[in-house]
Amino acid sequence: MKPQRSRSRNNKNRNRGGGNQGGNVVNRVFDSSGPEGKVRGTPSQVIEKYNQLARDAQLSNDRVAMENFQQHAEHYLRLLSEAQKEQDAKREEQERQNRERQAERDRERAERQEREAQQQPAQQPEATDPSEQEQPAAAEEASDLVETPEAKAETKPKTRRAPRRKPKPKEEAASAPKPEGSGDQPEAAE
């Protein structure tokens, strides 16, 4: 015969509060079975309730009940502090990972900018002749000085020369009528 497994259909056999279930203990609701009945709430609420019951027991001069309530409060206080330590450790680990990721991004950005800076001068032609570079006009810089004839000469706009005419092709030059007195002989100098 096979051994029979007990199939209980009530909620007491479910593994609700035992062990490390993960999740957030700080916000989790506990059902605590204390000496005065059930206390329900988050760990901080349960601690506050047991501390209140301990104060009430102290006022009624019941030292045994007071100690019992204090022990219950201390149990939930340990649970809460342990959960908070775990949360702090997780938060610190997350912050450390974020700092490492940010440092890596900063290094990559700096390397990329360095590569771009090295590639930029190669792409742009450099002007080696200092006369090709733009120079500020001396007359513009010294506007409060007295005007001299030399300065006036510098500020005169230069007249542009007419563009060169294209030479006529040889065929047209040969067929064009020659002016009188012109021959194939060179002219004599006077």
Give the chain's domain count: 1
Residue where the block lists tokens 């096979």: 2
Residue 138 placed within a domain: no
- Asked whether 55 and 69 are in contact (CB, 8 A), the reply is no
Provide the 3-class DSSP secondary structure of residue 102: helix
Residue 142 within any structural domain of the chain: no
Are 42 and 32 within 8 A, CB to CB? no
Nearest to 51, CA basis, from 61, 43, 30, 18: 43
Question: Would you state the structure tokens that stand for residue 51, as one six-digit string?
Answer: 């501390």
Q: Which residues pair with 34 in a beta bridge?
A: 37
User: What would the two tokens of residue 22 be?
Assistant: 């993960």
Distance CA 31, CA 20 (A): 16
Q: Which domain holds residue 107?
A: 25-119
- Residue 179 maps to a domain: no
Task: Note the pLDDT of residue 168.
Answer: 74
Let me know how long the chain is.
Answer: 190
What are the helix and strand counts (H, E) for the chain? 5, 2
Report if residue 175 sits inside a domain.
no
* pLDDT score for 140: 54
**Rounded to an integer, what distance in angstroms lies between the CA atom of residue 82 and that of residue 75?**
11
Asked if residue 85 is part of any domain, the answer here is yes
DSSP structural state of residue 64: H
Residue 15's pLDDT band, with cuts at 50, 70 and 90, is very low
Interval 70-117: pLDDT, tens:
999 999 999 999 999 999 999 999 999 999 999 999 999 999 998 888
Torsion angle defined by CA atoms of residues 26, 32, 34 and 38, in that order, rounded to the nearest 10 degrees: 120
Is 137 part of a structural domain of the chain?
no
pTM of the entire predicted model? 0.43
Rounded to whole angstroms, what are the CA distances from 92 to 33, 85, 87, 96, 189? 35, 10, 9, 6, 101
Residue 104 lies in a domain: yes
Higher pLDDT, 132 or 106: 106
On whether residue 188 sits in a domain, the answer given is no
